[in-house]
């Protein structure tokens, strides 16, 4: 009898107990299923509360990643869209 082939496939799932952010096999994933960005996560989520239990390896209390997504940038996009609609 041939021994059945076995896969070495494994899945490591880590979830932040404070915000629910998810890492699969060490890679941050957004709730949409898309690959995440730990620096944007820090700007958008982690930096709002600065919990000492935060597991995001890129989050530093008081640090802001200026080239990444922020609530201010998102607000600017919405304001621009609203102006375009209003001016149309």
**Domain boundaries, position 60:** 13-87
- The distance from CA 43 to its chain's CA centroid, rounded to whole angstroms, is 9
Comparing CA positions, the residue from 21, 60, 61 lying closest to residue 41 is 21
The one-digit pLDDT tens for each residue of the chain (88 residues) are: 567 788 888 999 999 999 999 999 999 999 999 999 999 999 999 999 999 999 999 999 989 999 999 999 999 999 999 999 999 8
Q: Answer yes or no: is 54 within a domain.
A: yes
């Amino acid at each position: 009898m041939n021994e059945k082939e076995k896969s070495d496939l494994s899945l490591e799932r880590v979830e932040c107990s404070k915000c629910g952010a998810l890492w699969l096999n060490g890679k941050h994933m957004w709730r949409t299923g898309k690959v995440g960005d730990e620096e944007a996560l820090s700007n958008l989520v982690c930096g709002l509360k600065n919990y000492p239990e935060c597991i995001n390896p890129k989050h530093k209390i008081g640090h802001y990643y200026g080239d990444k997504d922020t609530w201010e940038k998102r607000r600017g996009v919405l304001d621009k869209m609203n102006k375009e609609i209003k001016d149309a």
